[in-house]
């Protein structure tokens, strides 16, 4: 596309030009970062003026910048310099509004100065958002430019976790045994989830260490039950007893090794075995992606055989249904997208795909083997000539082994700026796994995922 400017000598009174733009929530976050204006009134899901209503009101000068886009791009176009601009704001625009920015030449002056009437209106009802006058110095010469290829921007906002939290809040607070929350991060995550009414925590561990952690983060423990345990071994077994006794509906890992918690959950007497293998799922919220991406198994099963992969896939499909996917699509990953007898993961993937086709894995679509690129990129799938309901659209990635899963999850976290919520499935109740590196949003999301899954389990759907 070519851009043609209109120099001073060619401009006539009455010349007009316009651009149309749909305002988005991400636009306002970008503006807040660039301008330094962090007024919460302009940011989504914030009650910025205390009226109890969360709004995303377009910043005034964001609207004003739409005027400059017409002046700089079209009329007069390239080479234009502002001299002055007045604004009078009428209506307010919000995220989702489609706006029309229009400029009209009203006067030509000496020294290449040109005056414009400027107005921004809302397309849906014609409401005037802002009106004013611009005076610019128009370009002297006619010029032609190729369209500038601007670098893409990704707003690092974890909207999928926000949606999970919104889904979980109407549920009754889930009674949850928090095992050894004896340092600030693990205790703080549990108390935060309690404040959000996602869980009702029962703290199991050393009371003195728990109280010391509470003092450090300046959080009260009023009304929260603490069950003493002298060691992490005792804390894990006591928490599992609470499940067996029907007192809690979930476990949450605190400041102890995952192996210690799972060992107690897997005990033969009054343990949490439920007929499937324990498997771990990361629910990844990746900025810029249209839906969460589930990665499994990246934490428990080191070199899963085919039987284990069946449970890994089925558990992930069940979780995807619990968090709102109408059509879970599991891509079984390998290094290649064709079956190679020398690559075991490709053979397993083909078998899992056929098993799902025959109804041995239920509730979702399963296809494999798929390489990472053609599992998540429609363009890559088309290039390889793969025709599939899963290829390019997978929302579950079943990895060949723990090494691969760990690498995928950490690459998404540290390169794609994803946040990950972690939960163990296949037990009688969800087991919430959090890491010391998790921030508050990730800890909350892990609790929300577990609560949604437990709600579906309690309905008998699993």
What is residue 151's predicted lDDT score, i.e. its pLDDT?
77
Q: Using the predicted structure, report yes or no on whether residue 436 has a pLDDT greater than 90.
A: no
What is residue 50's predicted lDDT score, i.e. its pLDDT?
61
CB distance 241 to 234 below 8 Å: no
- Rounded Cα distance, 201 and 204, in Å: 9
DSSP E strands in 371-430: the ranges are 396-398, 419-425
Confidence of residue 437 (pLDDT cuts 50, 70, 90): confident
- pLDDT tens digits for 168-193? 999 999 999 999 999 999 999 999 99
Contacts of 30 (CB under 8 A, 6+ apart): 153, 155
The DSSP result for 39-60, as a single string, is -GGGSTTB-TTSSS--B-BPPH
CA-closest candidate to residue 278, choices 293, 264, 294, 292? 264
CB distance 423 to 281 below 8 Å: yes
CB distance 250 to 431 below 8 Å: yes
Mean pLDDT computed over 437-449: 88
What is residue 54's predicted lDDT score, i.e. its pLDDT?
62
What is residue 47's predicted lDDT score, i.e. its pLDDT?
53
CA-closest candidate to residue 405, choices 327, 316, 325, 272? 316
What is residue 1's predicted lDDT score, i.e. its pLDDT?
65
- Rounded Cα distance, 339 and 347, in Å: 6
What is residue 438's predicted lDDT score, i.e. its pLDDT?
78
Contacts of 167 (CB under 8 A, 6+ apart): 323, 324, 448, 452
- pLDDT tens digits for 309-365? 999 999 999 999 999 999 999 999 999 999 999 999 999 999 999 999 999 999 999
Q: Which CATH number describes the domain made up of 2-146? A: 3.10.129.10
What is residue 441's predicted lDDT score, i.e. its pLDDT?
82
For residue 253, what are the β-bridge partners?
179
- Rounded Cα distance, 323 and 364, in Å: 14
Map tokens 């804390």 to a residue: 235
Mean pLDDT computed over 397-425: 94
Q: Residue 162: how many CB atoms within 10 A of its CB? A: 17
- Residue 145: C-alpha distances to residues 2, 78, 152 (Å): 6, 8, 20
Q: Residue 360: how many CB atoms within 10 A of its CB? A: 13
Q: What are phi and psi of 4, to 5 degrees?
A: -110, 125
Structural domain boundaries in the chain: 2-146, 159-458
- Rounded Cα distance, 168 and 371, in Å: 34
Q: Using the predicted structure, report yes or no on whether residue 427 has a pLDDT greater than 80.
A: yes
Q: What angle do CA 380, 382, 388 make, to 5 degrees?
A: 105
> Dihedral through CA 243, CA 234, CA 422, CA 419, nearest 10?
130
- pLDDT tens digits for 209-263? 999 999 999 999 999 999 999 999 999 999 999 999 999 999 999 999 999 999 9
Mean pLDDT computed over 410-433: 94
Q: Which CATH number describes the domain made up of 159-458? A: 3.40.718.10
What is residue 56's predicted lDDT score, i.e. its pLDDT?
83
Of the listed ranges 37-41, 102-106, 389-393, the least confidently predicted one is 37-41
* For the chain, percent of residues with pLDDT exceeding 90: 80
CB distance 35 to 65 below 8 Å: no
- pLDDT tens digits for 122-141? 999 999 999 999 999 999 99
What is residue 305's predicted lDDT score, i.e. its pLDDT?
97
- Residue 162: C-alpha distances to residues 134, 166, 214, 391, 454 (Å): 41, 6, 26, 27, 19
- Rounded Cα distance, 443 and 432, in Å: 9
Map tokens 């005792």 to a residue: 234
What mean pLDDT, rounded, does the chain reach? 92
- pLDDT tens digits for 37-91? 988 888 765 555 666 666 789 999 999 999 999 999 999 999 999 999 999 999 9
Whole-structure pTM value: 0.76
Mean pLDDT computed over 397-421: 94
């Amino acid at each position: 596309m070519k851009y043609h400017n209109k120099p001073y000598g060619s401009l006539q009174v009455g010349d007009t030009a316009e651009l149309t733009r749909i305002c988005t929530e991400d636009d306002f976050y970008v503006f807040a970062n660039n301008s330094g204006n962090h007024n919460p009134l302009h940011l989504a899901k914030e009650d910025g003026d205390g009226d109890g209503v969360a709004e995303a009101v377009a910043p005034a000068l964001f609207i004003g910048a739409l005027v400059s886009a017409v002046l700089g791009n079209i009329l007069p176009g390239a080479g234009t310099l502002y001299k002055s601009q007045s604004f009078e704001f009428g209506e307010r625009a919000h995220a989702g509004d489609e706006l029309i920015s229009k400029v009209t030449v009203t006067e030509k002056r000496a020294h290449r100065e040109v005056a414009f009437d400027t107005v921004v209106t809302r397309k849906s009802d014609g409401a005037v958002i802002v009106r004013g006058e611009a005076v610019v110095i128009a370009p002297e010469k006619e010029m032609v430019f190729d369209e500038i290829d601007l670098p893409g921007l990704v707003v690092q906002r974890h909207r999928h976790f926000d949606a999970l939290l919104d889904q979980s809040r109407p549920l009754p607070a889930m009674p949850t045994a928090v095992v050894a929350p004896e340092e600030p991060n693990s205790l703080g995550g549990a108390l935060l989830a309690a404040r959000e009414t996602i869980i009702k925590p029962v703290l199991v561990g050393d009371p003195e260490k728990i109280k010391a952690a509470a003092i450090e983060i300046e959080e009260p423990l009023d009304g929260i039950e603490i069950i003493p345990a002298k060691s992490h071994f005792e804390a894990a077994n006591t928490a599992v007893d609470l499940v067996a006794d029907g007192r809690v509906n979930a476990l949450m890992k605190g400041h102890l090794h995952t192996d210690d918690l799972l060992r107690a959950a897997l005990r033969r007497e009054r343990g949490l075995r439920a007929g499937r293998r324990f498997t771990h799922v990361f629910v990844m919220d990746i900025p810029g992606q249209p839906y969460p991406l589930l990665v499994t198994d990246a934490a428990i099963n080191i070199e899963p055989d085919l039987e284990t992969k069946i449970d890994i896939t089925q558990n992930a499909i069940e979780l995807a249904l619990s968090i709102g996917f109408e059509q879970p699509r599991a891509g079984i990953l390998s290094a290649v997208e064709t079956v190679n007898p020398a690559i075991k993961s490709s053979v397993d993937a083909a078998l899992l795909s056929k098993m799902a086709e025959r109804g041995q894995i239920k509730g979702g679509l399963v296809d494999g083997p798929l390489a990472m690129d053609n599992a998540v990129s429609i363009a890559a799938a088309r290039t390889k000539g793969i025709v599939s309901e899963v290829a390019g659209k997978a929302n579950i990635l079943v990895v060949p082994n723990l090494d691969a899963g760990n690498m995928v999850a950490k690459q998404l976290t540290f390169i794609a700026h994803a946040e990950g919520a972690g939960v163990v499935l296949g037990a009688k109740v969800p087991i919430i796994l959090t890491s010391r590196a998790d921030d508050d949003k990730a800890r909350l999301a892990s609790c929300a995922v577990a609560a949604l899954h437990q709600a579906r389990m309690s309905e008998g759907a699993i």
